[in-house]
A and B are shown apart, each in its own frame.
Chain A
Amino acid sequence: MRTIVLATMLLLLPSCDLPRDPEKTLQRVRGAMIRVGLTASPPWTIYEGDQPRGIEVALVRQFAETFEANVEWTNDSEAKLMEHLREGHLDLIIGGLDDESPWTTHAGFTQPYVTVADKRHVMAVRQGENRFLLELDKFLQGRRAEIHQRVDAEAAR
């Protein structure tokens, strides 16, 4: 048994591009377009005029840049967005979501990347797109200090 396990590990570990996305989200967005849904939730997401802004909007733009991808924004209610996400029409949802979000049957969530007023904030991705999720997790966790500063600056305003 241990031989099988070891053999499997040895075979697979070098190909460390795991995990992969079942629906190939990361491959599709690279150099192309990330489809992001947002609900207005200041200061995280603010929708005024035709361009969204806010802490999470800025983060998503930065994240998209690392793949040289553009962002296509969809503004709707959380319920509508979650349906779209589940059906595969969106890649990512933002809007002040926290880790007590009830949408666990519709979405996968990042690790909490900042805690404000006892709310641990997360973003939602399509379920099972584990590579895309891992890249987003890495991106967010690597900027925890920076995000914290931004949140504090918003609060001071």
Chain B
Amino acid sequence: MKLSPAFEFPPEQLRALRKARRLEWLTIVYLLSVVVVMYFVLGSSQAMKTAWLEDILSLLPPVVFLVASRVAIRPPNQRFPYGYHRAVSIAFLVAAVTLLSMGGWLLIDAVIKLIKAEHPTIGGVHLFGQTIWLGWLMLPALVWSGVPAVLLGRAKLPLASMIHDKVLYADAEMNKADWLTALSAFVGVLGIGLGYWWADAVAAAVISLAIIHDGYTNLREVVTNLMDEVPKTVERTEPDRLPRRVEDRLKQFPWILDAQVRMREEGHVYFGEAFVVVDKLSDLPARLYEATEACAGLDWRVHDLVLVVVPALERESGADAV
């Protein structure tokens, strides 16, 4: 069986990957510290509970990234001739579904508290011979859960574009949005302090909506990805120009009369087929090989491109929409 080529990152991307892995380890250590700190000051605040669960859920993407970035670059074998690139998407799918369902459950929980008009009870805590309001401890814990997360998210974002890693990108975006969670819970706790019992459940609802949003965007991303949507940049704002560039490169060969390319993303890299119409048939194998190599040289993400010679190409409407 002809296996897909083994994948290795180019040196620059490899450096970015190593840095991303270090940052993700740091994220996990940081998040664990947040989870522990928050656990001790939870009280019976729904907003705090929701923010705490959000912190626990935030552990999923870094773990997915760390595992998947190891698995994805395993060489193809007889059992998996295309390699392990899709492992990333599957792990990500699980994480997205978890986020979405957890967010939904927390939203229902918050709304029930609101309807039943449950008053959050937060009393004193005995600390160093003094009894102070537990709410005063929640506020610094929330600041710790918000500010470093934003900085980590900002550091990871450019790396995600560099290694074309959508898990890393989603993770960085979630970290960056963490200040919203922290601020909501902060306002919720202050609201309880001021005697507005409903502030707690409202803050919890806002946080769960943020979790649902994360889950939904990630789910949409990974499902469209698994359906071989046309490749997009990690920011998802526009289709990747790469398939078009491959097509243009092929057309530069004088012996290629016409070319059409379709590509799909598998993890960090692209697989695809190029259909070409040729005018001369002498020395074809060598020419095709040369053309394939030229395309692979365009970008490290052109990982496994198959050239197919066809007698003619139809111009379909919409095929050129890219």
With A18-B194, A20-B195, A130-B133 known to touch, is A8 a contact of B123 (CB < 8 Å)? Answer: no
The verdict on B125 contacting chain A, using a C-beta distance below 8 Å, is yes
Interface mask (B132-169 → A, CB under 8 Å = 1, otherwise 0): 01010001000100110010000000000000000000
The interface residues of chain B lying within 8 Å CB-to-CB of A126 are 119
Smallest distance from the beta carbon of B112 to chain A beta carbons, Å?
Answer: 12
Q: How far is the CA of A112 from the CA of B244 in the complex (A)?
A: 69
For the complex, is B231 an interface residue (Cβ under 8 Å from A)? Answer: no
B contacts with A: majority SS: mixed
Q: Is residue A9 contacting chain B, with contact meaning CB distance below 8 A? A: yes
- Judging by beta carbons under 8 Å apart, are A134 and B124 in contact? yes
- Closest chain-A Cβ to B12's Cβ sits at a distance in Å of 33
Distance A4 CA – B179 CA, assembled complex (angstroms): 11
A142 to B126 Cα, complex, angstroms:
9
Q: Find chain A residues with CB under 8 A from B122 CB.
A: 19, 130, 133
| Segment among B24-32, B185-193, B248-256 that sits at the interface with chain A | B185-193
Known: A20-B195, A141-B131. A12 touches B190 (CB 8 A): yes
Mask, A35-53, CB within 8 Å of B = 1, is 0000000000000000000
Chain A residue numbers with a CB within 8 Å of B123 are 108-111, 130, 133-134, 136-137
Per-position binary interface string of chain A over residues 1-41, scored 1 when its CB falls under 8 Å from any chain B CB and 0 otherwise: 11011001100100000111111000000000000000000
Known: A20-B193, A134-B131, A141-B126. A108 touches B44 (CB 8 A): yes
Q: Which of B125, B126, B135 contacts A19 (CB 8 A)?
A: B135
In whole angstroms, how far apart are the Cα atoms of A5 and B150 in the complex?
14
Contacts of B197 in A (CB 8 A): 22, 128
CB pair B135–A18 under 8 Å, yes or no, is yes
Counting chain B CB atoms within 10 Å of each CB, which of A23, A126, A137 scores highest? A137
Asked if residues A130 and B150 are in contact (CB atoms below 8 Å), the reply is no
Residue of B nearest to A2 (CB): B147
Bound Cα distance from A111 to B43, whole angstroms:
11
Which residues, 130 to 157 on A, are CB-close (under 8 Å) to B? Answer: 130, 133-134, 136-138, 141-142
Size of the B side of the interface (Cβ < 8 Å), in residues, is 29
Contact B192 A130 (CB under 8 A): yes
Interface positions of A from 92 to 141, Cβ below 8 Å from B: 108-111, 125-130, 133-134, 136-138, 141
Q: Do A130 and B131 touch (CB < 8 A)?
A: no
Contacts A4-B183, A5-B183, A22-B197: A127 and B124 contacting too (C-beta < 8 A)? no
Q: Are B133 and A18 in contact (CB under 8 A)?
A: yes
Tell me which of B124, B146, B196 has the highest count of chain A C-beta atoms within 10 A of its own C-beta.
B124
Q: Among A1, A22, A130, A133, which residue has the most Cβ atoms of chain B within 10 A?
A: A130
B142's nearest neighbour on chain A, judged by CB, is: A5
Q: How far is the CA of A154 from the CA of B245 in the complex (A)?
A: 88
Beta-carbon contact of A127 and B150 below 8 Å: no
User: Are B195 and A21 neighbours in the complex by a CB distance under 8 Å?
Assistant: yes
B139 to chain A: which residues have CB within 8 Å? 9
**Which residues of B are found within 8 Å of A110, using beta-carbon distances?**
123-124
Q: Does B317 contact A (CB under 8 A)?
A: no
Contact with A along B190-210 (1 / 0, CB 8 A): 101111110000000000000
- Cβ-defined contact, A22 with B183, below 8 A: no
Whole-angstrom CA separation of A134 from B192 in the bound complex: 13
Give A133 to B193 CA distance when docked, in angstroms. Answer: 12
Interface residues of A (CB under 8 A from B): 1-2, 4-5, 8-9, 12, 18-23, 108-111, 125-130, 133-134, 136-138, 141-142
17 contacts between A and B (CB under 8 A): A1-B179, A5-B143, A9-B139, A18-B133, A19-B193, A19-B194, A22-B197, A23-B119, A108-B119, A110-B123, A111-B131, A127-B121, A130-B123, A130-B195, A133-B122, A134-B131, A134-B133
Given A5-B143, A8-B190; 10 other pairs, CB 8 A cutoff: A22-B119, A108-B123, A109-B123, A126-B119, A127-B118, A129-B119, A130-B123, A133-B124, A141-B131, A142-B131
Closest CB pairs A-B (n = 8): A128-B119, A108-B121, A137-B124, A20-B195, A18-B193, A133-B123, A19-B193, A127-B119
Q: B residues engaging A (CB < 8 A)?
A: 44, 118-126, 131, 133, 135, 139, 143, 146-147, 150, 179, 183, 186-187, 190, 192-197
